Amino acid sequence: MSLPLEEVRGHPAWSTVIELQTPNRQGAALVAKNRPGGPINIAYEVHGTGPIHLVWIMGLNAPKIAWHRQTRYFGHEHKDKYASLVFDNRGVGGSDKPYARYSTSEMAKDVIDLLEHVGWTDPSQLHVIGVSMGGMIAQELAFLIPERIASLCLQSTAACLVSSIPWYKHLYRRAYMIMPKSLPVRLAAAQENIFAAAWLKAPDDLGVFPTNSDRYVAEELWRLENLPPPVYQGFLLQALAASWHYMGPERLKVLGERIRHILVCTGDVDAMIGYKHSDVLVRGIGAGGRVVKRVFEGSGHALQFECAKEYNCMIEEFVTAAYEDGKGATINRWI
């Protein structure tokens, strides 16, 4: 049984549940200067100074701090090996929240403008990791600038969202998703969608809170009190962009042809984007080249949170292999 919100807020560890790491560089990049709906300010941070450049693209309505387990590991514990770029997509966090409708392709162009701003423009320099909607943006990014991408990791995402439930249930779920809700109801619904039920009930992985569910709630409460509040139109427009995302077989094949190292990973109990969506990605990309698939058994949607240690190890092995392969070396099982 999860703790009541007031007990989570009163827990001794609540105020430090997210340990902020000092970035090596941060600011706001002006993107979409000559595109419809622009210009737009994108808030970003770079953690670490190493030669392996990681671009982390977050999902629906989630700010860059949702990568904090990864920025700490790659950008601070291994800061001499990696440089990690994290940012708030348009519509969330410290970035601008336009009212005009946009697509995942437009969001990918935001990333290209941001990369120009930070100076990450060399061929085969980027190792791109995208989760959920961020994985959709990553697909579009890879299609636009494949020559600059050394490796691509598509996590818990889809080439096109396809419902496995009757249309009327799907319509109800979509309508319910955008309805205003009380905080307890919102947190309960989010947990149900993005985490495995067994994991939520299990003792906190770090041994501080009673359960993993309590840790998640503590992090959400911390974010609500310490970050810019989420806005409704930001969530709605991002949701529309994700809903209309489409990467057809021919374009997926191009990704396989143009990018040597592609990893598709998913949890087999993902309630947000079913794991069968990953099969579509693998088939499409595999028609043009080699793709590796990794399934996290008994895990949900947010692998970077739920399976942080195993997830970080997977990313480290994958991008290191791609980086070494680019230098002419062949190492480990990823090649």
pLDDT at 329: 52
For 231-274, how does the pLDDT look when each residue is reduced to its tens digit (9 = 90+)?
989 999 999 999 999 999 999 999 999 999 999 999 999 999 99
Instruction: Give the model's pLDDT for residue 38.
Output: 93
Task: Please write the tens of the pLDDT for every residue from 94-128.
Answer: 999 999 999 999 999 999 999 999 999 999 999 99
pLDDT tens digits for the chain (335 residues)? 578 888 888 888 888 899 899 999 999 999 999 999 999 999 999 999 999 999 999 999 999 999 999 999 999 999 999 999 999 999 999 999 999 999 999 999 999 999 999 999 999 999 999 999 999 999 999 999 999 999 999 999 999 998 766 655 655 565 566 566 788 888 998 999 999 999 999 999 998 999 999 999 999 999 999 998 889 899 999 999 999 999 999 999 999 999 999 999 999 999 999 989 999 999 999 999 999 999 999 999 999 999 999 999 999 999 999 999 987 654 445 45
DSSP state of 75: I
Please say whether the dihedral angle defined by the alpha carbons of residues 194, 293, 86 and 97, taken in this order, is positive or negative: negative
Cis peptide before 39 (omega within 30 of 0): yes
CATH code where residue 30 lies: 3.40.50.1820
Assess if residue 210 is contained within a domain: no
- Classify residue 164: in a domain, yes or no: yes
Which pLDDT score is estimated for 331? 46
**pLDDT score recorded for residue 176:** 64
Residue 13 belongs to some domain of the structure: no
Does residue 219 sit within a domain? no
**Residue 118 counted as domain residue:** yes
DSSP string, 277-330: HHHHHHHHHHTTS--EEEEETT--S-HHHHTHHHHHHHHHHHHHHHHHHHTT--
- Token pair listed for 255: 């990704």
pLDDT digits (tens, 9 = 90+) for 133-142: 999 999 999 9
Please name the residue ranges forming H helices in the chain.
5-9, 68-72, 104-118, 133-144, 167-178, 183-194, 197-201, 212-226, 232-243, 249-258, 276-286, 303-306, 308-326
**Is 8 a member of any domain?**
no
Q: The tokens of 295 are what?
A: 């399934």
Asked if the structure places residue 271 within a domain, the reply is yes
Is there a domain that residue 275 lies in? yes
Neighbours of 204 (CB within 10 A): 16
Residue given tokens 């701090």 in the structure block: 65
Cα Rg of the chain (Å, integer): 19
Q: Which residues contact 202 (CB under 8 A, 6 or more apart)?
A: 211, 212
Range of the domain at 284: 20-177+246-327
Check: CB of residue 52 under 8 Å from CB of residue 81: yes
Is residue 123 a contact partner of residue 146, using CB atoms and an 8 Å limit? no
**How many other β-carbons are positioned within 10 Å of the β-carbon of residue 34?**
7
The domain tally of the chain equals: 1
